[in-house]
Amino acid sequence: MNLEMNNLFEIGQKYSLNFRITKEMIKRFSELTGDVSSLHVNEDFGRRSIYRTNVAHGMLTIAHLSLLEFFCEDSLRFSVSKISANFLKPVFVDEPLCLEAEFKEWQKEENQFSIEYCIKKAESDVLVATGFLALNYSSEDDKKRLKTEFNLEPPSNTRMLEVALQERDFKIDQIEKNQKSEFSFKISRDCADVLINSLLADGVGKKHSKRVINGIDANLLATLLFSTFAGMCIPGRYATIINFQVNFDKQIQWDKIYDFIGMVTFKSSVNSISESIMMKGSKDEKETVYARGKMSVQVNSPSVVMPSIDTLRQEALDLQLKNKVVLITGASRGIGETTAKLFALHGAKVAINYLKGKDEAERIVQEIMGSLDAKAIAVRADVSNFDQVNSMVKTICAEFGTIDILVNNAVGNAFETDFMALSWEEVQKDIDIIVKGAFNCCKAVLPYMVKNGKGKIINVSTIYADNPPARQFKYVVAKSGLVGLTRSLAVEFAPSNIQVNMVVPSIIETDLTAGINKMVLNSAIQNTPMKRLASPMDVARSIIFLASSLNSFTTGQKIMVTGGNAPFL
């Protein structure tokens, strides 16, 4: 190290600078570099971005390297030969930052020294960026060197780009390997003056207002255009620079025109791209390469556009149940009867399954077809018998073509019985109707749903599976099995776009609960926050919701129809 350098620098010597980025700095940086990317300057776009606000250009933070002390020596001149950065966190407006740099190595043969730097959030020491900088040094004998002080009237209307760029908006699937873009630029001394005096002075405070900046060169300013390429060319408005590095083969000269050329070299599966960068001479120097570099860019996803009124009218007001084919087991009375009628009101074709209630089932069919001019059939089958279920499904498909929605509602009885008085045959009977019945119906219907690429299965469970009362062992065991069936099928058939869910009501005043002691029913009413029992309509509405277009992403779940009773999900 020569005497002059020896007197000024030591290996391990450190420098620091406190600053912040203001809105005005972002505006002026955009004007200087031509990077008017929406992420930085459009408030509405910033609010909808992943950052929820506008963020500062990463290269604007890097530009503060030009304010470090070694650039301020009157007798020294520096030229950037290498520079790199890894951007770890976004920088927000008015966030206090600290730039720290350390002199690492002097290479006498190349007349070059290097520093490592980092930028931290001043209040938390969280790293924002890290990087490396290599500078070539020479004694000051250049009469044309830049010598400037912060002043109150910096040059106006200074631009680095020859022609303003239109912001591109490539999404990740629109970007291809070897895709190229380029623009022309020119670095003037006025550009340096604007950067130092108008831009950076705004964020470092009054104590820097009289500093003399000699060392800044055109290479450092040209580096700022990495931001312009990413934010305006490829990918454009959805870009966030992850890292970059550049080596300068030749010195960028003041007031000469150059071409900035970038090309996509790699596209990852995690929405990022790699790009190679060259700065080449223009016109008669087109084959002369002044700098080579590369950068990685995150291609952020566009903000989610909320549905229009027309879309909501089509997809939300219309439940999309018209002409859907619905099979409801145990539908000759109670919840099943009400659900069948409600589906028919929405234009569905309804198949009413019954075992013993033929007259009731046919009455419901006549009521639906007579009042609504809708389509309905009654089909007998013991759901615990697969052959009968399979025959029922074939009959329905012969009549209506397919089955879109299955409601497993069939149940035996809910008579209170002491456990010690139960036989396994009685328990097995409930399991056969509720669990085996649902199993058989799903087994017969699912092939049609898989073929159609969609389907809805709704199982009617009970609050008793979560809060079992005394003397309801066989009913609780069977309904608990239905819970397991629901969850298992939901996971297995979700890839086929088939949703399997449960409706879980508390006590409902139907024929099923007629055998429950009236004192128990009255107690249930008093203990329910809404002071009434659930009605068949309450349950039917929940079934309609799960079967409709309002439910497109919920599966393996349960809707509690309990009037405020526990359990709470």
- For residue 147, what pLDDT is reported? 43
- For residue 3, what pLDDT is reported? 42
Predicted confidence band at 536 (pLDDT cuts at 50, 70, 90)? confident
CA distance 20 to 506: 60
135 contacts: CB under 8 Å, gap ≥ 6 = 78, 79, 80, 81, 112, 113, 114, 115, 215
160: left (phi over 0), alpha (psi -120 to 50) or beta: alpha
- For residue 222, what pLDDT is reported? 96
| 275 vs 142: which has the higher pLDDT | 275
DSSP assignments along 321-356, one per residue: -TT-EEEETT-SSHHHHHHHHHHHHTT-EEEEEESS
Is the pLDDT score of 62 beyond 70?
A: yes
Predicted confidence band at 517 (pLDDT cuts at 50, 70, 90)? low
DSSP assignments along 177-203, one per residue: TT-EEEEEEE--HHHHHIIIIIIIHHH
Location of structure tokens 């007259």: 359
Range 195-216 burial, b when 16+ CB lie within 10 A, else e? bbbbbbbbbbeeebeebebbbb
Least confident of 72-76, 107-111, 327-331: 72-76
- For residue 19, what pLDDT is reported? 94
* 95-140 residue pLDDT tens: 999 999 998 887 777 777 889 999 999 999 999 999 999 988 765 4
Token pair of 275, please?
Answer: 């790009």
Is the pLDDT score of 521 beyond 80?
A: no
Is the pLDDT score of 72 beyond 90?
A: no
Q: Which residues pair with 326 in a beta bridge?
A: 350, 405
CA distance 518 to 514: 9
Mean pLDDT value of segment 415-434: 90
- For residue 106, what pLDDT is reported? 77
**The domain 309-561 is classified under which CATH number: 2.130.10.10, 2.40.50.140, 3.90.1300.10, 3.40.50.720?**
3.40.50.720
- For residue 145, what pLDDT is reported? 43
Average pLDDT, the chain: 88
3-class DSSP state of 174: helix
Q: Which of 67-81, 314-328, 381-395 has the highest mean pLDDT?
A: 381-395
- For residue 424, what pLDDT is reported? 94
DSSP assignments along 38-107, one per residue: HHHH-HHHHHHSTTSS----HHHHHGGGGGSGGGG-TTEEEEEEEEEEEE-S---TT--EEEEEEEEEEE
List every span in the chain annotated with CATH 3.40.50.720.
Answer: 309-561
Mean pLDDT value of segment 66-81: 73
CA distance 212 to 74: 8
Predicted confidence band at 164 (pLDDT cuts at 50, 70, 90)? very high
Range 126-161 burial, b when 16+ CB lie within 10 A, else e? eebbbbebbbbbeeeeeeeebebebeeebeeebbbb
Q: Are 520 and 420 in contact (CB under 8 A)?
A: no
CA distance 385 to 459: 18
* 18-39 residue pLDDT tens: 999 999 999 999 999 999 999 9
Mean pLDDT value of segment 253-277: 95
Mean pLDDT value of segment 80-95: 95
* 271-300 residue pLDDT tens: 999 999 999 998 878 889 999 999 999 999
Tell me, what amino acid is at 147? Answer: K
Is the pLDDT score of 507 beyond 90?
A: no
Assigned CATH for 3-139+159-299: 3.10.129.10
- For residue 566, what pLDDT is reported? 80
Mean pLDDT value of segment 442-452: 97
- For residue 121, what pLDDT is reported? 95
Q: ∠ CA(241), CA(225), CA(212), 5° rounding?
A: 110
What is the 8-class DSSP label of residue 216?
-
Catalytically annotated residues: 475
Q: How far apart are the first and last CA of the chain?
A: 72
Rounded to two decimals, the pTM is: 0.67
- For residue 54, what pLDDT is reported? 94
List every span in the chain annotated with CATH 3.10.129.10.
Answer: 3-139+159-299
* 522-535 residue pLDDT tens: 887 888 888 888 88
* 337-348 residue pLDDT tens: 999 999 999 999
Least confident of 475-479, 498-502, 564-568: 564-568
Q: Are 70 and 16 in contact (CB under 8 A)?
A: no
- For residue 516, what pLDDT is reported? 62
- For residue 135, what pLDDT is reported? 87
Is the pLDDT score of 494 beyond 80?
A: yes
Q: Are 329 and 336 in contact (CB under 8 A)?
A: yes
| 4 vs 485: which has the higher pLDDT | 485
- For residue 229, what pLDDT is reported? 97
CA distance 259 to 285: 10
Location of structure tokens 């071409």: 259
Is the pLDDT score of 84 beyond 90?
A: yes
The continuous run of DSSP H or E covering 524 comes out as helix 518-527
Mean pLDDT value of segment 234-256: 95
